[in-house]
Structure 1
Amino acid sequence: MPLKSCINFIIFILPIFLFAQVEEINPPDYIKTVNFGGDTEETQLPIISYGDYVNLEFDALNGNEEDYYYKIKHFNFDWTPSVLVQSEYMEGFDNQRIRNYENSFNTFQMFSHYRLTIPNKDTRRLKVSGNYMLYIYDNQGELIFTRKFMVYEDKVGVGVAVKRSRDIKVIESKQRVELLVASNGMQLNNPYQTVKAVIIQNNNLKSAIKNIKPQYTLGSDLVYKYDSETSFGGGNEYFYFENKDVRRASNGVQYIELNDLYENFLFTNASRANQPYTYYPDINGNFLVNNIDAANNNVEADYVWVHFSLVGADHFKNKNIHVYGSFNNYAIDDSTLMTYNAERNVFTAALLLKQGFYNYKYVAVDSNNNVNEGLISGNFWQTENSYKVLIYYRELGARYDRIIGFGEGNSVNITN
């Protein structure tokens, strides 16, 4: 390629690389039970206050006791790379080995359990708020997986109210989120340009509504009373199972077998899209590792093959059906894809999961990887969902996006 053409190609492609949005990279099959949360939260989406801790735990099932390393990078509100250099957003350094790990004890499946806490003696402090990505590498320098997390400053008040839709066409199936951002004396210059809100349903960042600007101002407060722009499908309560004792059938487990590992066969589920809404408590897609006989769940909870089954129905027989939940960060991949058995008229899948309590649902996925959560579960305005809201602010002339406020709401007391 001539030099001039090469230079032109670089000039063309470089901005695309610099300003491309990053997505999380899922771990390989031998990395399981990635548990990522704040110091006190039981959640897979760490949204931590400035100065708090974030904890990462995962199991490596290859039995090699490999070394793993981590790096941290800062991003803009839309997950494009930030222009800040490391010394501007971090005190200390990263690219350090994860030193805290234990080997499994008294389990059929051998594994090593790794734990990382940030800040630590090497990465002493994250100096600014905003979006961050945690990168995990092996000892060959190969990227294993990534996870997003957010650090916020408690500068503004964020009121969150969950309402029924005002659109009569979807009033039975959607929930909308109203926001009131109280400035608390903070000067928010030109908020229609500098302030953006992100709304997250049930800790699932993949389905979040992003880049929502204030609808209008009321004194120094920002008001968001949109209808369709801040509406989510209500979905349905999650299915669940519990296998804290792998030797006997429990909640959601029909029967068990013991081969190389224990195998749990769940009761067969059916589509609820055309059924009346029925409330039963769930944990909004989350999971909790638990072994009833263990002193230390991290290394004594065993791995079990969990067999899922779903009765086929005409409206989704020709679609890709996946098992969906926080157990794999809502990822859609080959491991969660269900296989249709025409003789039995059921979709089946088997997932290797650590003992505990799990929420899950079934979703349909099209050829473009678009997820339809309501096709099988249905969408109901009564469904109990949790919502988290992040308020981003970039002052005029600033070089990065701060998160200046965080709020939470729940649809358990939804109103018209």
Structure 2
Amino acid sequence: MKKHSSFLLFFLITPLLAIAQVATELNPPDFIKTITFKSNTTQGQLPILKLGEPLVLEFDALTANEEDFYYVIEHFNFDWTPSNLVKSEYLSGLDQQRILDYENSFNTYQIYSHYNLEIPNTQTRGFLKSGNYMISIYDDYDELMFSRKFMIYEDLTNVGVQVKRSRDVTTIAEKQSIDMVITTNGMNLNNPLETIRTLVIQNNNLNTAISDLKPQYTLGNELIYRYKTESAFWAGNEYNFFENKDVRAANIGVQRIELKDLYHNYLYPNITRKNVPYTYNPDINGNFLITALDATDVSIEADYVMVHFTLLHPKLEGKSIYIYGNFNGFTLEPLTQMIYNKESQRYENIMLLKQGFYNYKYVSVDRKTGVLEEGAISGNFWQTENNYKVLVYYKDLGARYDRLIGFGEASSVDISN
């Protein structure tokens, strides 16, 4: 009897443990590159779509096999634990379908197949609920290739966002603080201190997002957030960038070019900017844009290039340096780690990237603690132009999932004291 009780307890606890797991994105294998979400206004790796807008996912497979890929879509709570909704409640139609739209590269040294998935389509007619979502791509052997997060919101509240200098005098020259005002527009929000949750994202980077700030004041139908330190971000610096839309001629940031098995672009060496004065240099806040000269369709005509990065910096003991940007979802992985060259006394890395305009910067990670320091190489300056997005979630008393009821955005170009 005791044995049967143990088995019963195991089967009761196991589903609870599975439900409590927090979803994380999986990076693709080396042969899958340039994962891109597209909308009418942006290209990158963090789509925030209004309910009813199409979702477009594109990626390249650097093989000559025209492999089959399948997609699965799941709905999540605010904290990225699985929601209690069944698939038919948040998705109209079917997922676990093969991606039918793909083309082979044309007139490129690197052979690849470009895959394009747009929802709604014949099998998957659209999304029925707002909130957090994850799309997972599987191969023909049911192995998970990669997964990416995205959000869908309902336009039910107005979200006012202002960027301020830090209210903490010790970091006033290095941080930016976010003030928010959420206007409910007549929507009845029960007990907002418990049912409203917020997420503040800097430059589309979920790794540094600030979550779950509570409203400090309520004024009529307005929820007001004016924190001293809790809503403050390190301001960072403007991103480094390069453009290689013409693989045969040096362009912005490219020092020289060589043609071997593929084209090789050697970028101008970067220096540490932590201890030099801030200089305004317009960027696209860590994003990237695929572009190629004289190409009718850059999706299949842009080539892949071996890009050589160099950082003039003495060796950091106990720390690793990575190339950081939206081109891989701000992920720290072996492919983006800089290797110290003892002979030249500089950090180096070679990455295979599709032609385009790329923003990037260098960050350090403590090998023992795993702490990421984004400003270790480039510094933090309050004048830096950054983009901030604010998402507002609502879970009414007794509700089964977190609705995403508001979206606001601001730039630190309009920063004030």
TM-score (norm 1): 0.97
Structure 1 partner of 2:190:
189
Structure 2 partner of 1:157:
158
Query: Are the aligned partners of 2:166 and 2:172 in contact in 1 as well (CA < 8 Å)?
Result: yes
Q: Deviations over 1:29-82 (max 9, x none)?
A: 000000013343233210000100111000000211001110111000110000
One-letter code aligned to 2:127: L
Structure 2 partner of 1:178:
179
Q: Distance in 2 between matches of 1:59 and 1:281?
A: 29
Structure 2 partner of 1:91:
92
Q: How does 1:74-85 map to 2 (within 5 A)?
A: 74-85=75-86
Q: Deviations over 1:114-141 (max 9, x none)?
A: 0001121211121110001001111111
Q: Distance in 2 between matches of 1:275 and 1:308?
A: 21
Structure 1 partner of 2:21:
20
Q: How does 1:263-412 map to 2 (within 5 A)?
A: 263-313=264-314, 316-367=316-367, 368-412=369-413
Q: Distance in 2 between matches of 1:388 and 1:224?
A: 14
Structure 1 partner of 2:50:
49
Q: Give the secondary-structure state (helix, strand or coil) at the position aligned to 1:241.
A: strand
One-letter code aligned to 1:346: R
Structure 1 partner of 2:131:
130
Q: Deviations over 1:281-338 (max 9, x none)?
A: 0000011111102111000100000000101236x35411011101111111110011
Q: Give the secondary-structure state (helix, strand or coil) at the position aligned to 1:87.
A: helix
How far residue 85 of structure 1 moved from its aligned partner, in angstroms, is 0.2
Q: Give the secondary-structure state (helix, strand or coil) at the position aligned to 1:397.
A: coil
Structure 1 partner of 2:74:
73
Q: Distance in 2 between matches of 1:80 and 1:318?
A: 34
Query: Are the aligned partners of 1:321 and 1:363 in contact in 2 as well (CA < 8 Å)?
Result: yes
One-letter code aligned to 1:160: V
1:38 equivalenced with 2:20 (yes/no): no
Q: Deviations over 1:93-134 (max 9, x none)?
A: 111110000000000000000000112121112111000100
One-letter code aligned to 1:60: A
Q: Give the secondary-structure state (helix, strand or coil) at the position aligned to 2:17.
A: helix
Query: Are the aligned partners of 1:69 and 1:138 in contact in 2 as well (CA < 8 Å)?
Result: yes
Q: Deviations over 1:249-278 (max 9, x none)?
A: 111011111110000010111111111111
How many residue pairs get matched? 415
Larger deviation, residues 136-145 vs 5-14: 5-14
Q: Give the secondary-structure state (helix, strand or coil) at the position aligned to 2:16.
A: helix
Structure 1 partner of 2:120:
119
Q: How does 1:240-279 map to 2 (within 5 A)?
A: 240-279=241-280
Larger deviation, residues 13-22 vs 249-258: 13-22
How far residue 3 of structure 1 moved from its aligned partner, in angstroms, is 4.3
Query: Are the aligned partners of 2:164 and 2:178 in contact in 1 as well (CA < 8 Å)?
Result: yes
Larger deviation, residues 168-177 vs 364-373: 364-373
Q: Distance in 1 between matches of 2:344 and 2:204?
A: 35
One-letter code aligned to 2:360: Y
Query: Are the aligned partners of 1:39 and 1:54 in contact in 2 as well (CA < 8 Å)?
Result: no
Q: How does 1:206-217 map to 2 (within 5 A)?
A: 206-217=207-218
Q: Alignment identity in percent?
A: 56
Q: Distance in 2 between matches of 1:159 and 1:173?
A: 23
Q: Distance in 1 between matches of 2:318 and 2:344?
A: 16
One-letter code aligned to 2:139: D
How far residue 16 of structure 1 moved from its aligned partner, in angstroms, is 2.6
Query: Are the aligned partners of 1:39 and 1:55 in contact in 2 as well (CA < 8 Å)?
Result: no
Q: Deviations over 1:147-204 (max 9, x none)?
A: 1110000000000000001111000000000000011111111000000110000011
Q: Give the secondary-structure state (helix, strand or coil) at the position aligned to 2:193.
A: helix
Q: Distance in 2 between matches of 1:272 and 1:16?
A: 46
Q: Distance in 2 between matches of 1:41 and 1:132?
A: 18
Q: Distance in 2 between matches of 1:353 and 1:340?
A: 21
Q: Distance in 2 between matches of 1:10 and 1:252?
A: 58
One-letter code aligned to 1:40: T
One-letter code aligned to 2:123: D
Query: Are the aligned partners of 2:160 and 2:180 in contact in 1 as well (CA < 8 Å)?
Result: yes
Q: Distance in 1 between matches of 2:272 and 2:12?
A: 51
1:169 equivalenced with 2:170 (yes/no): yes
Query: Are the aligned partners of 1:391 and 1:406 in contact in 2 as well (CA < 8 Å)?
Result: yes
Q: Distance in 2 between matches of 1:345 and 1:318?
A: 17
**RMSD after superposition:** 1.3
Query: Are the aligned partners of 2:133 and 2:150 in contact in 1 as well (CA < 8 Å)?
Result: yes
One-letter code aligned to 2:403: R
Larger deviation, residues 142-151 vs 368-377: 368-377
Query: Are the aligned partners of 1:39 and 1:52 in contact in 2 as well (CA < 8 Å)?
Result: no
One-letter code aligned to 2:358: Y
Query: Are the aligned partners of 1:198 and 1:390 in contact in 2 as well (CA < 8 Å)?
Result: yes
TM-score (norm 2): 0.97
Query: Are the aligned partners of 2:197 and 2:213 in contact in 1 as well (CA < 8 Å)?
Result: yes
